[in-house]
Amino acid sequence: MILNKLEQKLTRLQHKANDVVNRVRDRHIRLAVTGLSRSGKTAFITALVNQLEHAAIDGRLPLWDALRQGRILGARRVPQLNAHIPTFAYERGLDSLFGDPPAWPEPTRGVAEVRLEIRYRTRHPLRKHLGEISTLYVDLVDYPGEWLLDLPLLEMSYEQWSEQVREQLRRPELQALAASWLTPEWQATQPFAERPVAELAERYTAYLHACKQELGLHLIQPGRFVLPGEYAGAPMLQFVPWVWEMPVGEPADGTLYATLRQRFEQYKQHLVQGFYEQHFAGFDRQIVLVDCLQPLNAGAASFGDMQQAIARIMESFAYGKSNWWRRLFSPRIDKLLFVASKADHVTPEQHAPMVSLLQHLVRSGRGQARFEGITTECLALAAIKATEVGKGVANGREFPAIRGTSLSGESLLLFPGEVPPHIPPAQWWNSQGFDFQAFRPMPMSAHQALPHIRLDAALEFLLGDHLE
């Protein structure tokens, strides 16, 4: 037993040592992928792995320099180092995509990862002395966007967070959804009781789910309430913001207010800080997927909520250029890619406005990032293309259109509408006429790389400098 434990410890140390060596040599990179609700991150990771595995044989990635130059020898999945983290369900995702009828992969509910080994011919003069063929290990880490949106809570007190929620509840549509947990009135000094508070937390959680599903909101806090995973039923997930009459003076231990505040702090310490230390602080590069189309469909309130969510995301990043010494001992994100997903759900001439809109949404945060030395980029892409470009005719005139199959199996040919190139003013919403439909995947061959739009541009931005 003791020998087994010693062997396991030595194996972990060896893996860690190898990881350190690879980081110093720029042979290892951790790419984190997250997204706001329904942005398609599971499809994105599935497509990224698929493109890398097919690159050397069936590569359709002209914007990826290393492949275009013939220097990519191949890529394959290899066992991940973090055995305590679930493996990303890549094969299951392909089964869905190649099914009859095709379907989108099931979204992941927590952290998952997959490791790839890329072999390539180096152009770097120093590395050539060690051998012309080099290896880059890429860890793709998938995690829920709700967890990223929780990070700003680390800088907030219970009182500040409660005030933020009170401000949100000024909106009539949120007040209506919140009625079940806003009443009856609670008193800050009343004794804490486990069961009533657990029931109150359940009603608050149902409210958060309704905000997400019925109103299409993205700024859902605390994020673990809607994606609890192994912590479902834990007391630190049983608290609510204080939206009733504030206490006078400092509430005594054991009162309702003091206990809710204590649980908020426990949530921050164990879940939010834990996520930061165990995962976020170790990421080298980050991809954030944003579906701009559904909020445009849903209206001004949903779009405004997406704006706030993106602003909070920009607050979450520990900026700082990652030189080799700091990357070894204190890794920091040095590249940040924002993706306007589902570019295939609009006609091609709308891709440029999609990028422009996303750039406006992240503008303030990008300025700070650039000042700190982090490189940012905005792209419009479709990780898995689900439509074809077509033409429609109305009143004897042609119009640009896309052709695809709805989630219910109906064949569609339509022009979804024009994407605004900047953040729309209030009066603009009265005249918009969007019809952004959801499409299911097209029938595809399992023997070819998945069809995409500009996924190669993402690969070049994320991996290009590591493949020199």
State the pLDDT confidence band at 319, using cuts at 50, 70 and 90. very low
pLDDT exceeds cutoff 60 at 66: yes
Alpha-carbon gap, residue 283 to 278, rounded angstroms = 10
Short-list 411, 327, 337, CA closest to 377: 337
pLDDT exceeds cutoff 80 at 47: yes
Percent of the residues in the chain that have a pLDDT greater than 90, as a whole number: 67
Short-list 165, 187, 186, 185, CA closest to 177: 165
Alpha-carbon gap, residue 449 to 91, rounded angstroms = 14
State the pLDDT confidence band at 267, using cuts at 50, 70 and 90. very high
| pLDDT the model gives residue 6 | 56
pLDDT exceeds cutoff 70 at 8: no
| pLDDT the model gives residue 88 | 97
pLDDT exceeds cutoff 90 at 420: yes
State the pLDDT confidence band at 58, using cuts at 50, 70 and 90. confident
Rounded to whole angstroms, the maximal C-alpha distance in the chain is 82
pLDDT exceeds cutoff 90 at 62: yes
Average pLDDT over residues 287-304: 91
Alpha-carbon gap, residue 24 to 324, rounded angstroms = 6
State the pLDDT confidence band at 129, using cuts at 50, 70 and 90. low
Strand partners, 138: 29, 116
Short-list 164, 231, 240, CA closest to 197: 240
Strand partners, 413: 403
Q: What letter would DSSP give residue 254? A: T
| pLDDT the model gives residue 366 | 80
State the pLDDT confidence band at 125, using cuts at 50, 70 and 90. low
Torsion from C-alpha of 95, 100, 103, 105, nearest 10 degrees: -10
State the pLDDT confidence band at 240, using cuts at 50, 70 and 90. very high
- Report the mean per-residue pLDDT for the chain: 89
Alpha-carbon gap, residue 202 to 276, rounded angstroms = 26
Average pLDDT over residues 275-284: 86
Short-list 433, 422, 426, 431, CA closest to 354: 422
Q: What is the pTM of this model?
A: 0.88
pLDDT exceeds cutoff 60 at 105: yes
Q: How far is CA 459 from CA 81, 376, 463, in A?
A: 23, 14, 6
Strand partners, 119: 74, 135
pLDDT exceeds cutoff 60 at 257: yes
Q: Which of 52-61, 191-200, 271-280 has the lowest mean pLDDT?
A: 271-280
Alpha-carbon gap, residue 178 to 165, rounded angstroms = 11
Q: In what order do the strands lie in the sheet with 388-394?
A: 388-394, 397-405, 411-414
| pLDDT the model gives residue 321 | 45
Alpha-carbon gap, residue 31 to 282, rounded angstroms = 10
pLDDT exceeds cutoff 70 at 318: no
Alpha-carbon gap, residue 350 to 435, rounded angstroms = 14
Helices (H), 153-193: 158-168, 172-182
Q: Which of 89-98, 319-328, 424-433 has the lowest mean pLDDT?
A: 319-328
pLDDT exceeds cutoff 90 at 222: yes
Q: Which of 52-56, 260-264, 273-277, 411-415 has the lowest mean pLDDT?
A: 273-277
Alpha-carbon gap, residue 353 to 378, rounded angstroms = 12
| pLDDT the model gives residue 315 | 76
Q: Which of 117-131, 138-152, 279-293 has the lowest mean pLDDT?
A: 117-131
Alpha-carbon gap, residue 206 to 220, rounded angstroms = 12
What is residue 393's three-state secondary structure? strand
φ and ψ of 269, to 5 deg: -65, -50
Angle between helices 455-463 and 41-58 (to 10 degrees): 90
pLDDT exceeds cutoff 50 at 320: no
Alpha-carbon gap, residue 402 to 237, rounded angstroms = 44
Q: Which of 40-54, 251-265, 355-369, 453-467 has the lowest mean pLDDT?
A: 355-369
pLDDT exceeds cutoff 80 at 325: no
| pLDDT the model gives residue 4 | 56
| pLDDT the model gives residue 394 | 85
What is residue 325's three-state secondary structure? helix
- Say which residue, 24 or 67, is predicted with more confidence: 67
pLDDT exceeds cutoff 70 at 3: no
State the pLDDT confidence band at 127, using cuts at 50, 70 and 90. low
| pLDDT the model gives residue 69 | 95
- Say which residue, 324 or 366, is predicted with more confidence: 366
Average pLDDT over residues 404-418: 94
- CB within 8 Å of 133: residues ≥ 6 apart: 73, 119, 120, 121, 122
| pLDDT the model gives residue 407 | 95
Short-list 448, 450, 383, 468, CA closest to 140: 383
| pLDDT the model gives residue 326 | 45
pLDDT exceeds cutoff 90 at 327: no
Structural domains in the chain plus CATH codes = 27-143+284-387+443-467 (3.40.50), 157-276 (no CATH)
